[in-house]
Amino acid sequence: TANIILVVAENMLGDKKVTVVFVLGGPGSGKGTQCSNIVEHFGFTHLSAGDLLRAEIKSGSENGTMIENMIKEGKIVPSEVTIKLLQQAMIKNENDKFLIDGFPRNEENRAAFENVTKISPAFVLFFNCSEEEMERRLLGRNEGRVDDNIETIRKRFKVFVESSLPVIEYYDAKDKVKKIDAAKPIPEVFEDVKAIFAPYAKAT
Ligand SMILES: Nc1ncnc2c1ncn2[C@@H]1O[C@H](COP(=O)(O)OP(=O)(O)OP(=O)(O)O)[C@@H](O)[C@H]1O
Ligand SMILES: Nc1ccn([C@@H]2O[C@H](COP(=O)(O)O)[C@@H](O)[C@H]2O)c(=O)n1
Ligand SMILES: [Mg+2]
C-alpha cells in the first residue's frame, strides 16, 4: 500500500509565497500615513481596502453604487467584493510583501479571507489612538472623502468598536498583534513602526 502525504502550502499566491501584514486601527489613526513610510523604507506594497473600494466606485463597476452607499454610511462592504479586489491587486503585483490596510474589518472579512486565500498574516500592526484625536484628524484631513463628516465619523467609530476590535482581539489571542501608540506625532510613531519592521529591512 502506498502512503500518501498531502502537503497544503500556506501563504501561496499562485506560485509565489507571500508575506502579509494586516494594518488595523480606528478611522484616522494614521494607517495610510505610516504605510507610505513602510513602503519607502521596507519595500512592501501598500494595499488599502478603502482605496480599492473607492477605485471600484470610480471605475463604474456594477457594484459601484452599493459600495458608495455603504461607505457613506460607514458600513462594511460584503467580504466577497473586498477580497476579490485584494486578491486581484496582489496577483498583478510582482512584490511578495504586502501591507493590507483596513482589512479585515469584521469577523466575516477575517474568516472569508482565510478560507478563500489560505493566507494568514505574519502579524497585525495595530494603531491605537483615542476617538477624540482621530476625530480631530479626520475633520482636518481635507481629501474630499464622503465619509469624513461628523455624522459618518461617529458611525465609523461605532463599527470599529463593535466589529473591528473583536478581530484585533482574535489575533491578540494568537500573539500576533503589535500595538503602536498612534497618538504621538508622525515621526515618533514611525520610530516605533521601524523597530517592528527591522527584520524586513531591504538588503542594500
Ligand atoms: N501621528 C499623527 N499625528 C497627527 N496627524 C496625523 C498622524 N498620523 C496621521 N495624521 C493625519 O491624520 C489624517 C488621517 O491619517 P490617515 O489617512 O493616515 O489615517 P487612516 O488610519 O488611514 O484613516 P482612514 O481609516 O480614515 O483611512 C491625515 O490628515 C494625516 O495627515
Ligand atoms: N475592509 C473594508 C475596508 C473599508 N471598507 C469601507 O470603506 C470605508 C473607508 O475605509 P478606510 O479604511 O479608507 O477608512 C469604510 O468605512 C467602509 O465603509 C469596507 O467596507 N471594508
Ligand atoms: Mg486610510
In this prediction the ipTM stands at 0.99
Q: Please tell me the predicted confidence (pLDDT) of residue 5.
A: 81
Phi-psi region of 108 (alpha: psi -120 to 50; beta: other; left: phi over 0): alpha
Q: Please tell me the predicted confidence (pLDDT) of residue 6.
A: 75
Nearest 10 degrees: Cα torsion 189, 199, 46, 101: -60
Condensed to tens digits (0 to 9), the pLDDT of residues 138-166 reads: 999 999 999 999 999 999 999 999 999 99
Domains and CATH numbers, the chain: 16-196 (3.40.50.300)
Low-confidence stretches of the chain (pLDDT < 50) are none
What ligand 1 atom has the least distance to the C-alpha of 141? 29
Measured from the CB, is residue 109 less than 6 Å from ligand 1? Answer: no
Measured from the CB, is residue 22 less than 6 Å from ligand 2? Answer: no
What ligand 1 atom has the least distance to the C-alpha of 101? 22
d(CA 44, CA 93): 11
